[in-house]
Amino acid sequence: MQAIEDIECDLVVVGGGGAGLRAAIAAAERDPGLRIALISKVVPMRSHTVAAEGGAAGVARADDSLDGHFNDTVSGGDWLCDQDVVERFVAECTGEMVRLEQWGCPWSRQADGQVHVRFFGGMTTQRSWYAADKTGFHMLHTLFQTSLRYPGIQRYDEYFCSDLLVDDGVVCGVLALEIASGKPVRFGAPAVVLATGGAGRVYGQNTNAGIVTGEGMAMAHAQGVPLRDMEFVQWHPTTLPGSGILITEGCRGEGGVLTNRDDRRYLQDYGLGPTEPWPRPKAMELGPRDRLSQAFWYEDQAGRTVPTPQGTAVQLDLRHLGEDRILERLPMITEVARRYAGVDPVREPIPVRPAVHYTMGGIPTDVRGAAPLSGLFAAGECASTGIHGANRLGSNSLAELLVFGRAAGEAAAEYAREAPRRPQRVVEQLATEALAPRLELLRNDRGERLATLRADLNRAMEQGVGIFRNEAGLEQACTTLAALRERLRRGIRLDDRSRTYNTEWLTAMEFGASLQVAEAMAWSARARKESRGAHVRDDAYSERDDERYLVHTLAYPGDGTGPVIDHAPVTVTRSAPRRRAYGAEGEAQA
């Protein structure tokens, strides 16, 4: 039998992106004596937070208010947000931005040395703190470098966490593999914070890094934790055709416009106009992402998009901003467009189209980041705190990972101090059981190629669980995903059977997690027989139905035929659902 190394600690944080680092720092500050293991499958500064571009929300201007941020977030989420959590969230964003500044984050500044904020989609005023167009990069490096100051944080870089260990309904650690050697390690701890990011890679066209494959969600789900609101997947409206590389919403925040084949600012035809004055908040190109991606879909169907070798596109035009402003505010976009699209945004529009960007749903948590399993906490994209509802507003996720990363870190630290530990032999037994199927992957002599299965998964999701959904397409997707699960069970054949840095083995485990998350998405979408936010149906359920569906979706692991779907109430405190409106209609409403 394979020996499993044992590491005893007090708190395990899985994931070294923004949420995981913020959680680890918060836990270390709360209790400097705590032994914190920060486990990440990549060195933390490689985490996908690094690719966030545009900004992080936090009320900063005299003409802004917490109520403003609250109302934008709740209406942006099409009233599926838990309003008590949103209230707590908006109250804490600014303090977290300040904290990050005091740790050295190079936020962009005004001439007088004060921090600058920019417009973002669906936000009433400028409230997105930004560091040029590398906001996530600077936040992540600031957090990583700051984390080096805390001796309580012991990093396990390039350890792949495969399983959550749970004994009799109580978390007691995780199983991980040291990637360099393939050696299994069990981390015994009474508290675990999952901060593993989203699952955008279940789709073919996405803005996400290769590592965004949903293991944290799958790990919790495998232990009976439901995944909440998984049908709400965000398509970012402006990404490069083919690669899906992100072209930040900050472009539009700075005044960039979108035009179709006929050079028309087509968003005026989708309830977001009139076009002037521009830029103005919550209108035209500063509408929310769900609306913009849906508008693209209609334009594409009507043949008003522009062909490119990598698929159809619309045009993101920055030229009127002028070279100086483009280079100052959007230097990375300029470089990315030049290099990856062969287009100079100073001189010509950038071809863009929607791609999957963000998983609104995830592991359900309360305001402290606690999941419905003793000892389990979650933060960041893998969590469903309830703040995003049916559609996340741009720049709320970078704020989220700070606010709720900190909350989860503090709550987990407090819990860990009091919680009883499970006996080592129990943890050892659980780890041994969890390891067996992982090792089995290395022994299969027969089976399909991993890349074939992954391509089929991506296709099933693009076709059946896309920007627009309908009953027939969703049913087909569920059937295809079930068949994929059966194909995976029959076995995949790896070329690589060795232990040293076996990335093919890791990818196989990631695939299993992705498939599990994809099924939760497809089944949840099928069960929501209405249209709301990013979940839009073009069959009999094309309208929002508050009577039946002002509820969260819960996808529980099933008995082998697929997830079991249940619903749970949404917390409405002070914003009663009404018609969601932008552009002129929204302005009349306000």
Partner 1 sequence: MSESQRITLAVQRFHPEQDAEPRWQRYAVPYTPDMSVLEGLQYIKDHLDGSLTFRWSCRMAICGSCGCMIDGEPELACHVFLRDYAPGPVWVSALDHFPVQRDLVIDQSDFLEKLETVHAYLIPAGERTAAEGTYRQTPEQMTDYYAYAQCINCLLCYAACPQYGWHPDFVGPGALALLQRYNLDSRDAGSELRHAVVDAEQGVWSCTLVGHCSEVCPKGVDPARAINQNKPGSSARYLLDWLRPGRRRQEGSE
Of 313, 314, 350, the closest CA to residue 332 belongs to 350
Least spacing, CB of residue 212 vs partner 1, in Å: 9
Q: How far apart are CA 551 and CA 180, in angstroms?
A: 45
Crossing angle of helices 503-527 and 471-490, in 10° steps, is 150
Looking at the Cβ atoms of 101 and 323, the one nearer to partner 1 is 101
Residue of 204, 242, 271, 279 that binds partner 1 (CB under 8 A): 242
Asked about 236 being catalytic, the answer comes back as yes
User: How do strand 363-364 and strand 383-384 relate by DSSP bridges?
Assistant: parallel
Interaction pattern, residues 118-137, with partner 1; x per rule: CB under 8 A: ----------------x--x
Which residues within the stretch 501-540 sit at the binding site for partner 1 (CB under 8 A)? 501-504
Length of the chain: 590
C-alpha Rg value of the chain to the nearest Å: 23
Looking at the Cβ atoms of 269 and 496, the one nearer to partner 1 is 496
* Binding of residue 590 to partner 1 (CB under 8 A): no
* Binding of residue 156 to partner 1 (CB under 8 A): no
Which residues within the stretch 283-312 sit at the binding site for partner 1 (CB under 8 A)? 309-310
Q: How far apart are CA 56 and CA 86, in angstroms?
A: 15
* Binding of residue 568 to partner 1 (CB under 8 A): no
* Binding of residue 95 to partner 1 (CB under 8 A): yes
Question: Residue 152 forms beta bridges with which residues?
Answer: none
Of 367, 360, 371, 44, the closest CA to residue 194 belongs to 371
CB contact at 8 A, 318 and 256: yes
Least spacing, CB of residue 272 vs partner 1, in Å: 29
Q: How far apart are CA 428 and CA 214, in angstroms?
A: 25
* Binding of residue 2 to partner 1 (CB under 8 A): no
Cis peptide before 277 (omega within 30 of 0): yes
CB contact at 8 A, 512 and 434: no
Q: How far apart are CA 344 and CA 90, in angstroms?
A: 37
Write the CA distances from 369 to 192, 339, 405, 418, integer angstroms.
11, 40, 8, 17
Looking at the Cβ atoms of 76 and 197, the one nearer to partner 1 is 197
Asked about 252 being catalytic, the answer comes back as yes
User: What is the number of other CB atoms lying within 10 angstroms of the CB of residue 136?
Assistant: 26
Residue of 35, 88, 499, 567 that binds partner 1 (CB under 8 A): 499
Looking at the Cβ atoms of 282 and 406, the one nearer to partner 1 is 406
- 294's enclosing H/E stretch is helix 289-301
Q: How far apart are CA 555 and CA 563, in angstroms?
A: 6
Residue of 123, 194, 450, 554 that binds partner 1 (CB under 8 A): 450
Least spacing, CB of residue 495 vs partner 1, in Å: 3
Least spacing, CB of residue 503 vs partner 1, in Å: 6
Least spacing, CB of residue 69 vs partner 1, in Å: 18
- Tell me, by CB under 8 A, how many residues bind partner 1: 61
* Binding of residue 548 to partner 1 (CB under 8 A): no
Looking at the Cβ atoms of 114 and 429, the one nearer to partner 1 is 114
Tokens at 224, concatenated: 């009976």
HSE value, Cβ hemisphere, 13 Å, CA-based, for 539: 14
206 CB contacts (<8 Å, ≥6 apart)?
Answer: 200, 212, 244, 355, 356, 357
- 3-state SS class at 147: helix
* Binding of residue 491 to partner 1 (CB under 8 A): no
CB contact at 8 A, 369 and 24: no
Least spacing, CB of residue 496 vs partner 1, in Å: 4
Residue listed under structure tokens 């929204």: 586
Least spacing, CB of residue 460 vs partner 1, in Å: 18
* DSSP structure string for 518-558: HHHHHHHHHH--S-BTTBEESSTT-S--HHHHSEEEEEE--
Residue of 4, 51, 222, 442 that binds partner 1 (CB under 8 A): 51
Choose one: 40-48, 224-232, 413-421, 535-543; the region binding partner 1 (CB under 8 A).
40-48
* Binding of residue 245 to partner 1 (CB under 8 A): yes
* Binding of residue 185 to partner 1 (CB under 8 A): no
Residue of 4, 88, 103, 312 that binds partner 1 (CB under 8 A): 103
Looking at the Cβ atoms of 242 and 577, the one nearer to partner 1 is 242
Which residues within the stretch 350-409 sit at the binding site for partner 1 (CB under 8 A)? none
Least spacing, CB of residue 112 vs partner 1, in Å: 7
Which residues within the stretch 309-348 sit at the binding site for partner 1 (CB under 8 A)? 309-310, 332, 335-336, 339-340
Tokens at 320, concatenated: 């009127």
Exactly one of 46, 236, 422, 552 is catalytic; which is it? 236
Tokens at 313, concatenated: 């596109």
- 25's enclosing H/E stretch is helix 18-30
Q: How far apart are CA 569 and CA 360, in angstroms?
A: 17
Least spacing, CB of residue 453 vs partner 1, in Å: 11
Interaction pattern, residues 162-181, with partner 1; x per rule: CB under 8 A: ------------------x-
Least spacing, CB of residue 47 vs partner 1, in Å: 8
Residue of 2, 498, 542, 589 that binds partner 1 (CB under 8 A): 498
Active-site residues, by number, are 236, 252
Binding site for partner 1 (CB under 8 A): 42-43, 45-48, 50-51, 95, 98-99, 101-104, 106-107, 109-115, 134, 137-138, 141, 145-146, 148-149, 157, 180, 209-211, 242-243, 245-246, 309-310, 332, 335-336, 339-340, 449-451, 494-496, 498-504
